[in-house]
Structure 1
Amino acid sequence: MRIATSLACLTMALALPARAAGLPPDAAVNPAAPNKTLEPNVVANSGRLEWVPFKRDLTDWPTLSHEDKRSTAKPRKVKLSQPLNGDPARGREIAQRSDKGYCIVCHQMPGEDWPGTVGLNLSNFKQRKYADEAVFQLLFDARVINAQTVMPPYGTNNILTEQEIRDLVAYLQSIE
């Protein structure tokens, strides 16, 4: 399941001519497909791939292509108002959900068989003693701290609500 989802998300970077306005030429899209976005499907015993419609339309998502010239929201600095009041159990669920944080795609996390290799290892996160406000900002929009980051701006792009980010901070701060 996770491999299929990750492969589907990678379709935005595979070589197929873009046929949707504003997308880079290497995006795997077809406006005639039910959800516009395509994913590779291995044709059994043929050594070939066929491009089939993906279950979600990903054409609004920013790509990592240098040719993607669509505008994106400017980095947004935020302050953590009030006490954190996050729920670590809900935060763990958000970290694992492919439609929310999906932290395990990029990060190593305790108890997961799917070790991400892009981002920081999140095991023993609590021992790093990061301030809640700093972690909240990183999750809300890490571009404020590092303009070249590939960490998604979860808050700025409305991928996660403020409460979901609070829950995720609480979870990360609880990882021993």
Structure 2
Amino acid sequence: MKFSTVRFARMSWFALLGAGVLAALPPAGAAAPVPMDLTQSAAAMPWLRYSNWTRADWKDYNTLTQTASPAYAPPPTLTGPLAGDPTNGEKLSFDRNRGGSCVACHVMGKTTPALPGSVGPDLSTIGLWGRSDQWLFNYVYDPRSVNPQSMMPPWGAHQLFSVQEIQDIVAFLKTLKEPSTFKDALENPASRPIPVETRDNLDPFTNDGMAAVERGALVFSRAGTSGKSCGHCHFTPKKNFKNWAAGMPRYEARLNKVIGVEEFIARHARSTTGDALLMQSADNIDLSIFLRYLANGTPIKVDTQSKDSVAAIQRGNALMTRKIGQLNFACMDCHSLGANKWIRGQYLTETQGQFAHFPTWRTSRGEIWDIRKRFQWCNVAIRANELPPDAPEYGDLEIALAVINQGQKMNAPGIRH
């Protein structure tokens, strides 16, 4: 973008703010119904996974909407002595193409690859623990056979490894009899420094996501196919937008589901300006960041009192504990039981502390992600088919997460690795 264009964008935005041309959307819970398209999807249909994500289909495993994973069954009984190849077992244990590898959660002896995780116990001396071959086989094949609450994937039951491959892994585990040594504190998950985000996310020279604020203001002032812009009907944004985004998401009775800022934009724009600002399109993300930016510093305060909101929050909390995907993980496995630990070189955060920063600039991918795209990626990362961004289940998750972060101050766009 040329300097003159950037200068114009900035001048336009501040002029709009100062002149009061931009508009405030009605606050959440307003008595008069807000114009909104109620018949079409707010996202592109049919829904197609992003082109730079895996195309794998995990239809045989649970999602947030379907029950498909095989029912639990006891692991097969070994007949005779363990027949495993420890060399191949080591290779399999460290293979990142098999669900992220055992090293995602465990330290596993002196040959452990770089940046092991700490979600699971250090297995460097498991060969001295006195566990039987069958016990070890059972735990790797399906840990639920030993610990029904285990967050470890059922490697055999969900067909990530064959019976013979699990015997090879067990043979390798039996060779682990010496504590691991690490070349430095970064390699040891027990001493690896906890990452602290010190970058100023509201500095446009630090956070590329800040450019979306100016782009969003331009979208707001742009006339749609109806000949009208958002600013045609609404004004005084600094005053009237101060709290709106902090009260989202909210239950929309006409749709019988919870909608967030991004879905509201898509449906409201379609019925007023005529613009097709579909969820996760560039214009939708930019406008949602602009509206949230105006609410920065305002504490999150979503509806926790009405009957429909309470029911949605309860559904969202239940979905957080639902085991899905080939890896059989729930949200709370990583962000409660596994929180504040390492999964390989990534630090798992708690459910509180991130929500107020979305949409966020992901430096590792060079993209801005809204909260729904974050949900989708979590699904795909654990080998579960994701849902369209306007899925009711994501709305329930979003409001439940907002409640957990109730009182946290809005601070968008965020910046995260």
TM-score grouping bracket, smaller chain normalisation: 0.5 to 0.7
Higher helix share: 2
Task: Determine which of 68, 73, 84 is the counterpart of 2:70.
Answer: 73
**1:1-176 mapped onto 2 (5 Å cutoff):** 33=48, 36=49, 38=50, 53-57=52-56, 59-60=58-59, 62=61, 67=64, 69-77=66-74, 78-100=76-98, 102-110=101-109, 111-176=112-177
Secondary structure, aligned partner of 2:174: helix
The unaligned stretches of length 5 or more in structure 2 are: 1-44, 178-417
Over 3 Å counting, the alpha-carbon distance change for 1:150 and 1:69 in structure 2 is farther
Aligned-pair RMSD on alpha carbons? 2.4
List alignment gaps of at least 5 residues for structure 1.
1-29, 39-51
CA distance in 2, matches of 1:57, 1:149: 26
Distance 1:61 1:152, change over 3 A: farther
Shift of 1:69: 4.7
Single out whichever of 77-86 and 89-98 deviates more from structure 2: 77-86
- 1:5 paired residue number: none
TM-score under structure 1 length normalisation = 0.64
Alpha carbons of 1:61 and 1:171: their partners in 2 closer, same or farther (altered >3 Å)? farther
Displacement of 1:105: 0.6
- Per the TM alignment, residue 99 of structure 1 is displaced from its structure 2 partner at its CA by 2.5
Aligned-residue offset at 1:60: 3.9
The 1:169–1:68 alpha-carbon spacing in structure 2 relative to 1, beyond 3 Å, is farther
In structure 1, C-alpha distance between the alignment counterparts of 2:124 and 2:87, rounded to whole Å: 16
Residue by residue, what CA displacement relative to the aligned partner does 1:70-95 show, whole Å, maximum 9, x if unpaired?
23222221211222110000000000
1:47-69 Cα offsets, whole Å, 9 max, x none, are: xxxxx532342644757x8x465
Q: CA, structure 1 residues 127+68, in 2 after alignment: closer, same or farther (shift >3 Å)?
A: farther
Relative to structure 1, the CA distance from residue 121 to residue 79 in structure 2 (aligned partners, 3 Å threshold; closer, same or farther) is same
Counterpart amino acid of 1:155? Answer: G
* 8 Å contact kept, 2:106–2:123: yes
Distance 1:80-1:68 versus aligned 2 partners, 3 A rule: farther
Letter in 1 for 2:146: I
Distance 1:131 1:73 in 2: 27
Which of 1 and 2 has higher RCO (CA within 8 Å, sep 6+)? Answer: 2
Distance in 2 (CA, whole Å) between partners of 1:93 and 1:133 is 21
* Matches of 2:98 and 2:90, distance apart in 1: 11
TM-score, scaled to structure 2: 0.29
Question: Between Structure 1 and Structure 2, whose CA radius of gyration is higher?
Answer: 2
In structure 2, the partner of 1:13 is none
Instruction: State the number of aligned residues.
Output: 129
